[in-house]
Every structure is written in C-alpha cells, then in structure tokens.
Amino acid sequence: MKNIRHFPFPQSQRGMATLLIAMLLLGILTVVTFLALQVGIFEQRTVGAENRQRMVEQVADAGLSQAAEFIKAQTRPLTRDWMSADAATRRWALCDRGDTTWPCGAETSPNRRERLFRYQFGTDNAGTPNLDERLVFVSQTAAGGVTGIGGFTSNYAVGGLLCMVDNTDPINPACATVVDPARGWTGPVAVTLVSRSTIPGESAAGTAKVTVGSFRAINGPPNVPIIASAGIGGLGSGEIVASPNAGGFGVPLSIWANTDVDITTGGTMQSCHLGEFLTNFTASGPRPYDGITVCDTCRCNGLEIDRGLLSGKVTGGGLGSAQYEGIDVLDVDNSTAASPNGSLPDTTYFPFHPLDNPANSLDDSLFEYIFGQENSSEDSSALVDADGNGKDDGRDFMERSAIILNGGSCANLNATSTGLYYVPPGVSCRLGGQIGTPSEPIALVVEGSLDIQASTVIYGMVFVKRGIGTTPIVDVRGGMQLYGALVTEGALEIRGSPQFIYDERVLTNMAFAPGFQRFGVLPGSWSDADSF
C-alpha cells in the first residue's frame, strides 16, 4: 500500500472566514449606529417640538391671565361706553353666524355664535372700526415678543367674545343682542377670552380660551331704611321715609332691629309715607333727578296720624303731643309699645342670630346678609385670611373687592363716586357734599369712625361694620339726606337731624350698576380644544 500524503489548507483560506464574519458584524453595527442616530435625532426633534409647543401653550395662558385682569379693571365701560352708538368709541361687533375664524370660531354653535359680540378696537383712515385681534393692552407682537424655552420668541394676541346674559328665562338664559346705547347693558355678562400664540417662522401654535363671568359685589340690597343688629339708643330729630311693603303687602317698615327700639321717650324722630313726605314741603318742593324724585325741603314733621305719619311725635289726631311707636318699627319689645294700631309683633327673624355656628356671634351677621359672604373664620366655608390678621371677619372680602379709603380720602368722595368703598378700622371718615347719584350709587362700608357734615346728600347705602366691644355712632352735624339705607352691626346712635329716605330704584341700581360688578373665572370653562 502506498502512503497517502495530506496537504494543509493555506493560511489565507482560514483568514477569509474571519474577514467575512468581521465584515458582517461591522455591517450590523453600522446599521445599528444609523438607526440609533435616527432615533436620537427624532427624539431630539420631538423634545424640541414639545418644548416649543409647551412654550406657546404657556404664552397663550399668560395672555388669558393678562386679558382677564384687563376685563376686571374695565367694569364701568365694558358694556356702557363700549356699547355706544358712536362708531369711534364702540368696541363690540356681532359675530356672523357662519364666521369660524378667530375669535368668533371659538364658539362652535352657530345659533350661539350669532348672539356673541367680538371685541374691536381702533379705526382705519376712513373712520371704520377695525376688528382688532387683541385687547387694548400692548400686543406682545408689537413689544418684541416673549423670550421662552430655548431662547425662542413667541407672539400672542387675545380676542374677546361678549355675552350679555339675558336671564329672563332662568332655566334657559340667552345672550341679548339689543342694548340701550345711552345706558349700556346693566345685567350680568360673560366674556370668553380666546388667546393664541405662535413662534415666528415655526409651525408651533397654541390656542386657549376661558370664560370670565360677572357677579354682584352686593348679594341683595336692603329693603328697610334703617337696620340695626342691636338696640337703637337715639334717633335725634331724624326723619325716616318708610319702605312701603317691606313688612308684607301694605305693611311699611322704617326700622328693623333685633332688640328694643325706644322712640317713645325723648327725641323728636318721625317716620312717614313717601307720598305724604313729598307733598309736605316748603320752598321749591320735589323735583325729578336722574330717574327718581328728590326734595330738599320735604318733611314728615307736621303730618298727622293716619294722614301720612307712622311713628314719632304726634301733633294732632286727638292724641295731644304724645310720641308713639307705629307699625313701621319692627323690633323686640314684648309687644308693649304704645300704638293706635294695637300690639305689634316682635321680630322673629334677624340675620344677626347665629345659624351655622352658635358659638360664634359674628356668624351669619348682617354683613353676610347684605354681601353674601361668610363673616367667620370658624366656618368651614369662610374666606381665606388674606390680610394675615389671624381671622376672617369679612375684612378680607372688603380688601379684595372694595376701594379702600385711607386718611382724608373720604373727603374726595363726590357725585362721581360709585361702587363699593371701604373705610378700615382706625380711619376717620368725614363726608360732605353730594356722594353718588341715583343711577350710579355708592355703598360705603365703614369700620372706622363716621362723621357726616350738614347738607350732605348720599345716594346708596352706608354700612357701619361693628368693632369688637364698640358701639357704632353715626354723627350727623345738622341735616343730611340718605336716599337708600343705613345698616349697622351692633347698636346704633344717631345725632343730628338726618333724613333717611327709602328709594327702591337707588338700591336696585346699587346691586346692578357697573361699579358693583366683579369678575371671576367660571369653573370648567378653560379649554385648549380650539386651533386657529
């Protein structure tokens, strides 16, 4: 047998397999690297887009906040001056039913859209109103934009849609489209603010909207000329014109108190009906003024029982010169007050009595009765202690909602003063001249001292807020007139010869006049579903 010789494989052939495997792995790594790079770039772009989108959304929200503050500061002209028939001052125009552009398109229902007014401001060279795309504050487009995330610049503008709420049908309220151009709209309103923001040169854009609604600073006007949550120590020689039906149909009320009102001893206080008051005058007599009848020289004095006089000093009618308490005084005296009409029932309800928290004498007080705000820090629904005084006695609400008067600023009140004003503790308030008007009255809440000068005429309400352990004193020098109501927490003492003339129209205007409107964001109204 021959020997068989084996020859080994060349070294180069064994290296070829290794090379092929290495090239395969390198190819796989290359593909993985490119995929990872693509994923990284995609994620980077996604993060950048999310940042830009987050920025425009935040800028749109900032626009809503700025516009909401603007609306809150414009309660007076919002639906009065801006509803003027004058094209140069009118700032609201009805949306078209089919207008789906910004901002009218933020309302999806054509039936509701055609009853909304969009905000307009400014005119072109021909004097035609422009439908401006922003409210009157400076647009960030004109101001150079807002620097946001990553150094990008975003511009925004805010539009407004006005609904003048017609609540004639409380179940299905609608938006009114007709308004008296001379007086404007005096009812509640809702303004939907539509804010959109963009980044110049980018596709990022954001739209957000929220509705700001109006509410009254005063829950309900009082319907009695004088209300006191404790005894009345004296009424001086004052005169009161009663509210004709405050005690029920045909039952007038002049005073409402939760303790005894003693007007049968001392003093010369008198109360009477409005009709007889206006016909018992000297000199010029009654005259029309701003929608009501006023009179500088009319008096209850000299009237007789059952001929206009209700309570006070009797000068005729066979009763000599006695003083008596008539049916117009609602108090607590165990029905012993002398009256030609017989025994009078005692007060069976008064809002000073604690209801929610019997341990807290301030709970459910007259303040809550008038303003609709809790007056107790011990109540679970009480307001937040905004002023840091350790309690909430209603003062926080006043500091947020009223114009605060300090020092001698009470002296600046005049006929153009309207709305809610607050005199904090320790401040002396001296009033003189005419304050407010029948159509634009004033509500003055006094927690300091109150001094009313002679010949002062006030249209609206004076609310004397009680201090702990003090007795409010309304010091009247000479004669003054209050067309409206005087309300005091605690006892009351009146000095001088004032006239308190109940006028329902003045008090109604106090509840609905623009100066008493406040605005707040309606819960659940924020949305970013729209896109423009």
**298 band by pLDDT with thresholds 50, 70 and 90:** very high
- Buried-state track 182-201, b at ≥16 Cβ within 10 A, e below 16: eebbbbbbbbbbbbbbbbee
**Prediction pTM value:** 0.74
- Residue 105: which residues within 8 A CB-CB, separation 6 or more? 99, 113, 530, 532
Residue 357 CB neighbours (<10 A) = 16
Q: Taking the CA atoms of 309, 312, 313 and 317 in sequence, report the sign of the dihedral they define.
A: positive
44: pLDDT strictly greater than 90: no
Task: Report the SS3 class of residue 46.
Answer: helix
Total residues found in the chain within this entry: 532
Element (H, E) at 518: strand 517-521
Place of tokens 């009709």: 275
User: Is residue 1 very low, low, confident or very high in pLDDT (cuts 50, 70, 90)?
Assistant: low
Q: Which amino acid is at 476?
A: V
Q: What is the mean pLDDT of the chain?
A: 78
Q: How many whole angstroms separate alpha carbon 90 and alpha carbon 83? A: 5
Separation in Å, CA 9 to CA 4, 14, 18, 19: 16, 8, 15, 17
Least confident of 66-70, 340-344, 412-416: 340-344
Please return the burial class of 513, using the count of CB atoms within 10 Å of its CB with bins 0-12, 13-18 and 19+: buried
Is-contact 370 222, C-beta < 8 A? yes
Could you read off the pLDDT of 237-292 as tens digits, one per residue? 889 999 998 888 888 999 988 877 877 666 678 899 999 999 998 888 999 999 99
At 100 the pLDDT is: 92
DSSP 134: S
Question: Which has more pLDDT, 64 or 18?
Answer: 64
Residue with tokens 């980044």: 199
Q: Which stretch, 87-91, 130-134, 411-415, 477-481, has highest mean pLDDT?
A: 411-415
At residue 132, does pLDDT exceed 50?
Answer: no
Percent of the chain with pLDDT over 70: 74
Range among 155-159, 323-327, 380-384, 432-436 with highest mean pLDDT value: 432-436
Question: Cis omega before residue 103 (within 30°)?
Answer: yes
Residue 239, helix vs strand vs coil: strand
Q: How far is CA 383 from CA 359, 375, 421, 446, 519, in A?
A: 18, 8, 19, 20, 17
Parallel, antiparallel, or unpaired for β 153-166 and 189-198?
antiparallel
Q: What is the pLDDT of residue 356?
A: 52
What are the tens digits of pLDDT across the range 352-379?
Answer: 544 455 555 445 578 888 887 766 544 4
Predicted confidence (pLDDT) at residue 317 exceeds the cutoff of 60: no
Three-state DSSP class for 245?
coil
98 contacts: CB under 8 Å, gap ≥ 6: 110
What is residue 383's predicted lDDT score, i.e. its pLDDT? 42
One-character DSSP codes across 390-406: SS-SSHHHHHHHSEEP-
Average pLDDT over residues 160-169: 88
Q: Give mean pLDDT, residues 126-130.
A: 50
Say if residue 335's pLDDT is above 70.
no
> Under a CB-based contact definition with an 8 Å cutoff, are residues 448 and 327 in contact?
no
